[in-house]
Amino acid sequence: MKSPRKEAFVDSLQLPKDVCMGALRVTLTGNGEAWIENYKGILEYTGQVILLQGKTCQVCFEGSRLSIDYYTNEDMKISGCIQSVRFL
């Protein structure tokens, strides 16, 4: 759950929310690659769906031939034909 006071403080100092609030950072390179930072866990992993848990939300990648090329405790790379990205 977001703290309005903490978010206002981070905004006032113009600090990056992904670092200070633990927000997910998703970077897409076309529809073939996605880089995800600050995720908490993998909830579902198939060739058509990859569902990740973030600190405050979930993110769902849908497409075909999806694969996790690598992952660490902090970031991961997804590749394949990404057709949609939804935040839940």
Question: Do residues 7 and 21 lie in contact, with contact meaning Cβ atoms separated by under 8 Å?
Answer: yes
Question: What domains can be seen in the chain, in order of their start residue?
Answer: 23-87 (2.60.40.2000)
Note the pTM of the prediction, 2 decimals: 0.76
Q: Supply the pLDDT for residue 7.
A: 60
**Alpha-carbon torsion angle 31, 32, 34, 35, nearest 10:** -140
Q: Supply the pLDDT for residue 13.
A: 56
* 21 vs 49: which has the higher pLDDT: 49
What's the token pair of residue 28?
């897409």
Question: Do residues 27 and 42 lie in contact, with contact meaning Cβ atoms separated by under 8 Å?
Answer: no
